[in-house]
Structure 1
Amino acid sequence: MKPITRPAVTGLIVLLCLLFPTLAHGDTTDEQGDTTWAVAPADAQGPDGRRMIELELDPGESASDHFAVTNLSGHEVTFRLRAADGYFNENGRFNTIPSDQESVDIGTWVQVEDEVTIPAKGVAVVPVTITVPQDAEPGDHAAGISASLLQVSTDESGSSVGVESRVGFRLTVRVTGEVRAAVAVQDVETSYDTSWNPIRPGAATVTFKLVNEGNVRILGQGVLRIGGHEIAFPAEGESKQELLPGDDRSFTLRVDQLWPTILIKGSIDATPEAASERAADVVVPPVSSEISIVAVPWPQAAVVLGILLIVFALAMNRGRNKRKVADLVEQAREEGRRAANEENKK
């Protein structure tokens, strides 16, 4: 379970919009003492071990389910309940829109009680109903269901100070119809960092976006291939990046030990997978984007130019020496001829 940390804030009411871990667990402190709670999908008896509620419904169809709010504190607590449209932030963590924003998609399909009061160490199983509109777009829709506490106080200046601590879990509905799985590589930027040591290679940086152009959730992943190197994204040990329909995720990859060969060619090969538990029903076609990096070997060129200048200088000096020797030989011959002529005259 992941605790929620309440930050110190001043001024107007501040909404702390927390992410939705697998086991949502909250912890705050007020005049009643520590308040700790957990939220999870459930059946009619209590938490059932699911990470999320995942449904497949036709347009116009309704479904009922449950979730459990567990009060782990030593006092009675009233929690505010809310369903809202969800999204993934740039770090790949799931969240819901802030409380001061209205849902426009699946958050409006969910009917849930406004609040629930739970005694100390008690558990409340809350029913939830999802009704898909007749005109709902086919594909995956994501929301979050949360239980929250809003603590409001007044500071020395008289201003309201508040924190909403909110935890919950994900709700995903796939609306039946034409399912499209597609991904694109966009906004590719490249640069090359030259090593001015001519016997050392440089490094390249490749930045791009992976865009979910389909209507189902996908796991974004792939490989950058360039100059004989293969760089996986996400990196080994990192979680695969889930993208909702219309989402994009930025990647920045650095390739070391890359020799400058004027024009380095490579490719970004995306091999996404379906993220749903019904992954077998969806095949996401791979996509490849060709890239080129301009990498002029200036240090190596300078070395070659220096060698050529040395060779040229040696060649020029050798030519001058040859001419000087030839001139001396000719001068000696001329002096010999003059001496011979003078001897003949005697």
Structure 2
Amino acid sequence: LHGAAATPAAADEPGWTAEPLAGSAPAAPPKAGARPYFYLAGPSGTVLEDRLALDNTGDREHTVTLRGADAYNTADGAFAVRPAEESTGAGGWISFGAGTTVKVPAHTRAVVPFTVTVPPDSPPGDHPAAVVATEAGHEVGVRVHLRVGGPTLAALTVEDVSVRGKGAAARVAYTLVNRGNVALTPELSLRADGAFGKVAGRGAHPVAVEVLPGQRVELTEPWPGAPVFDRVALTLTVTAPGGARATAGTSRWFLPWGIAGRTGVGLCGLGGTTAAALLLVRKRRTRGGDGGPPPHGSGAVPDRSAAPEHELTGASR
């Protein structure tokens, strides 16, 4: 399953759903209301329990296979789960016992208990995982938000800031890296300082992604206030609950294509004129210092101690 993010989750084809059983959580989720995912918390070495609800809404029986899986962020920040053979973390702590394969009759709900056995040496913090239900190649992932007791650290960095496009279509690209041990829901603000006046940035607002511990995500941010002509210094500030804060920046010239083209042509012309002038000076000096007689009537005496010609290029003696 790649990129599954929310529950209750529906199969790729109509017929059944998988979601946490309402009212069965040993610990309440962070927010009141329906259970969008499993929330489990306890110290290392403990065994936690919860229940999954499989609802068959169709007219035929379905056979669903259940497993645990490690969760991670895709490059663009989506929530995804790893295959069974790659789940060496919290996904491997999940067990359905004898209920790994469940037959669900038509128009019936099956309630399946499972356990999460936290190893004694598990580090504190969040351990992202998911329960995956599969039938005939169709997978549904239900997130397991698992926190092991102990000290937590909310920390992140912002890296690789750049600007793409221009004008109202400009976007700021950046990378967020979760350096702590808890999942982060960041907010971002953008400050822009122009060389020729005030430039509109963006105030603090939520970023539509949750960055899991140890994960790196590459994001872009709309910047409709980008100028048409200016040199701008950009500063991104990202914050998250728990005291996480990071800043990073970049700078860029914004030039209209017409001005940029004329400026380039003008510089080329100036370079050609300068080269011609230098060549003319060199020729004149060559005529006056080539060992021939001085101009008629000048009375000048050649200076035999003058510096060699090659010094015109700045070369050493």
Query: One fold, TM greater than 0.5?
Result: yes
- Displacement after TM superposition at 1:284 (Å): 2.6
Aligned counterpart, 1:243: 211
Cα deviation, 1:82-119, whole Å, max 9, x if unaligned, reads 111112334443221135x3311101111113111111
**Does the 8 Å contact 2:187/2:239 carry over to 1?**
yes
Q: Deviations over 1:110-166 (max 9, x none)?
A: 11131111111111111111111111121101111122102xxxxxxxxxxxxx101
Judging by fraction of residues, say which structure has more strand: 1
The CA distance in 1 between the partners of 2:165 and 2:229, in whole Å, is 9
- Match of 2:4, as an amino acid? L
- Map 1:1-346 to 2 at 5 A: 17=2, 19-28=4-13, 36-42=15-21, 49-99=34-84, 101-112=85-96, 113-150=99-136, 164-190=137-163, 205-226=171-192, 227=194, 228-231=199-202, 240-253=208-221, 255=223, 256-261=225-230, 263-273=231-241, 283-295=242-254, 299=259
Whole-angstrom distance in 2 between the partners of 1:241 and 1:172: 15
Kept in 2, the 8 Å contact 1:44–1:125? The answer is: no
Contact 1:43–1:67 under 8 Å retained in 2: no
Cα distance change of structure 1 residues 17 and 294 upon mapping to structure 2, 3 Å threshold: closer
Residue aligned with 1:299, SS: helix
Whether contact under 8 Å (2:55, 2:109) holds in the other structure is yes
Residues 233/211 of structure 1: CA separation in 2 closer, same or farther (3 Å cut): farther
Does the 8 Å contact 2:122/2:148 carry over to 1? yes
Match of 2:295 in 1: none
- 1:198-224 alpha-carbon deviations (Å, 9 max, x no partner): xxx898653210111111011122012
Task: Write the distance in 2 (CA, Å) between the matches of 1:73 and 1:178.
Answer: 47
Q: For residues 301 and 96 of structure 1, do their structure 2 counterparts lie closer, same or farther at Cα, with a shift above 3 Å needed?
A: closer
Cα distance, 1:191–1:103 mapped onto 2, change above 3 Å: closer
Unaligned runs of 5+ in 2: 26-32, 267-317
CA contact (8 A) 1:223 1:233 kept: yes
Aligned partners of 1:134 and 1:288: how far apart in 2? 37
Rounded Cα–Cα distance in structure 2 between residues aligned with 1:245 and 1:26: 28
Query: For each residue in 1:1-23, what CA deviation from the matched residue of structure 2 results, as whole angstroms up to 9, or x when unmatched?
Result: xxxxxxxxxxxxxxx65624221
Query: How much does 1:301 deviate?
Result: 11
Measured at CA, do residues 202 and 145 of structure 1 come closer, stay the same or move farther in structure 2, by a change above 3 Å? Answer: closer
Task: Measure, in 2, the Cα distance between the counterparts of 1:77 and 1:253.
Answer: 43
Question: Is the Cα contact below 8 Å between 2:7 and 2:36 reproduced in 1?
Answer: yes
Length-normalised TM-score, structure 2: 0.68
Larger Rg: 1
Name the count of aligned residue pairs: 249
RMSD: 3.2
The CA distance in 1 between the partners of 2:222 and 2:19, in whole Å, is 39
Task: Name the SS of the counterpart of 1:219 in structure 2.
Answer: coil
Counterpart contact for 1:203–1:258, Cα < 8 Å: no
Structure 1 residues not aligned, in runs of 5+: 1-15, 29-34, 151-163, 194-200, 274-282, 307-346
Q: Distance in 1 between matches of 2:130 and 2:141?
A: 7
Call closer, same or farther: CA 1:57–1:295 in 2, change over 3 Å: same
TM-score (norm 1): 0.63
Question: CA distance change for structure 1 residues 44 and 208 in 2, over 3 Å: closer, same or farther?
Answer: closer
**Percent of residue pairs identical:** 31
Q: 1:233 to 1:73 in 2, by over 3 A?
A: farther
